[in-house]
């Protein structure tokens, strides 16, 4: 059974636990570094006092600093880093502050969402999305996400879209390629044109050969700047579906038509 940790106090918990009983913050998978072990001996450190931040914002910052592989530790709500990393951490602190959404009014009607099946990383993605949409939220003592009832429909949609995105990313794995600008626009246009040919004529041999290579590349490109990550995940998925169908020995024209149609539709609304 995997062990989870409180990044603030370093307490250990079993995998099913999602929140530290002492600090009331969400748990992380990586064992935290003691503050005194951050950097080399006698190396200058910088402290960020984050007492006024929400629990979710501090956990988000923890995830961002960890993802950037920046040596750090916590003393309660104080983040400790090397002085050499100060500029990088300043930028992450600024980003995390933007996601720290408004508080729920005490007299508001509330609704809770179970986070039992959500990993710490996925919860962080959800919190970021809620923050970007200006939705007041918090986590209760049972680890449930709490929002105002008036935001229920919007939160339902966010969770649905994010769940779909995470499922696609889990199925396809992390994308490896980076492509931007005119090169990307050209590729999207070419794949859309080829998908259009196949939805009209599933037996088009030339279009089949060309789209397999191009759609395979498209399915392995990281979310480009300016694209919604959820929509890009769907583009990756539908590109991958086209490749799977066209490389199957027992494919039928209906399957080719359906996969090509789905890819064409999402690209038609993107370019």
Q: Which residue has the higher pLDDT, 124 or 148?
A: 148
pLDDT band at 174 (very low <50, low <70, confident <90, very high): confident
| pTM of the full structure | 0.55
What's residue 15's pLDDT?
63
Q: How confident is the model at residue 100 (pLDDT cuts 50, 70, 90)?
A: low
Question: Using the 8-state DSSP alphabet, how is residue 19 labeled?
Answer: B
Phi and psi (nearest 5°) for 268? Answer: -65, -35
CA 70 from centroid of its chain's CA atoms: 19
- Give residue-wise pLDDT tens across range 16-53: 677 777 776 778 888 888 888 898 888 999 999 988 78
Backbone φ and ψ for 178, nearest 5 degrees, come out as: -120, 130
Decide if pLDDT at 101 tops 70. Answer: no
Average pLDDT over all residues of the chain: 87
User: What is the structure's pLDDT at 244?
Assistant: 95
Instruction: Give, rounded to a whole angstrom, the gap between the first and last alpha carbons of the chain.
Output: 46
CA distance 195 to 215: 9
**Position 147 pLDDT exceeds 70:** yes
**Structure-token pair, residue 223:** 């979310």
The yes-or-no verdict on residue 192 having pLDDT over 80 is: yes
Q: Any idea which of 18-22, 90-94, 156-160 has the lowest mean pLDDT?
A: 18-22
Confidence of residue 187 (pLDDT cuts 50, 70, 90): very high
- Please enumerate in sequence order all residues whose Cβ is within 8 A of that of 121, keeping only pairs 6 or more positions apart, or say none: 29, 63
pLDDT greater at residue 225 or residue 178: 178
Joined tokens for residue 66 = 């960890």
Once rounded to an integer, what is the mean pLDDT over residues 115-134?
78
Q: Residue 173 has which token pair?
A: 């794995």
Confidence of residue 99 (pLDDT cuts 50, 70, 90): low
Whole-Å CA distances, 199 to 203, 247, 266: 9, 16, 13
Residues 6+ away with beta carbon under 8 Å from 252: none
- pLDDT exceeding 90 applies to what percent of the chain? 44
CB contact set of 66 (below 8 Å; sequence gap of 6+):
28, 30, 72
Higher pLDDT, 213 or 41: 213
pLDDT-above-70 percentage for the chain: 95
Q: What is the pLDDT of residue 270?
A: 57
pLDDT at 135: 85
Q: What single string gives the DSSP state of each residue in 198-266?
A: HHH-TT-HHHHHHHHHHHHHHTTBPPPTTS-HHHHHHHHHHHHHHHHHHT-TT--HHHHHHHHHHHHHH
Cα-Cα-Cα-Cα dihedral sign, residues 226, 122, 38, 78: positive
Query: Is residue 245 a contact partner of residue 219, using CB atoms and an 8 Å limit?
Result: no
């Amino acid at each position: 059974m995997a062990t989870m940790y409180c990044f603030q106090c370093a307490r250990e918990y079993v995998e099913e636990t999602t929140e530290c009983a002492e600090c009331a913050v969400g748990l992380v998978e990586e064992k935290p570094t003691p503050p005194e072990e951050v950097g080399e001996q006698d190396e200058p450190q910088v402290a960020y006092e984050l007492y006024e931040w929400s629990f979710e914002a501090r956990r988000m910052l923890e995830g961002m600093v960890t993802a950037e592989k920046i040596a750090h530790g916590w003393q309660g709500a104080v983040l400790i880093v090397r002085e050499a990393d100060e500029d990088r951490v300043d930028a992450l602190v600024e980003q995390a502050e933007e996601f720290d959404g408004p508080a729920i009014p005490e007299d508001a009607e509330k609704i809770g969402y179970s986070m039992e099946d959500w990993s710490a990383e996925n919860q962080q993605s959800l919190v970021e999305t809620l923050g970007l949409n200006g939705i007041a939220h918090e986590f209760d003592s049972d680890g449930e996400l709490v929002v105002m009832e008036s935001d229920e429909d919007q939160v339902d949609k966010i969770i649905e879209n994010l769940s779909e995105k995470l499922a696609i990313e889990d199925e396809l794995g992390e994308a490896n390629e980076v492509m931007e600008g005119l090169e990307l626009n050209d590729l999207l246009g070419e794949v859309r044109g080829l998908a259009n040919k196949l939805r009209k004529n599933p037996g088009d041999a030339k279009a089949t050969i060309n789209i397999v290579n191009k759609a395979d590349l498209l399915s392995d490109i990281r979310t480009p700047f300016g694209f919604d990550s959820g929509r890009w995940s769907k583009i990756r998925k539908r590109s991958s579906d086209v490749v799977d169908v066209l490389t199957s020995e027992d494919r039928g024209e209906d399957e080719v038509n359906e996969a090509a149609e789905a890819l064409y539709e999402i690209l038609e609304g993107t370019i």
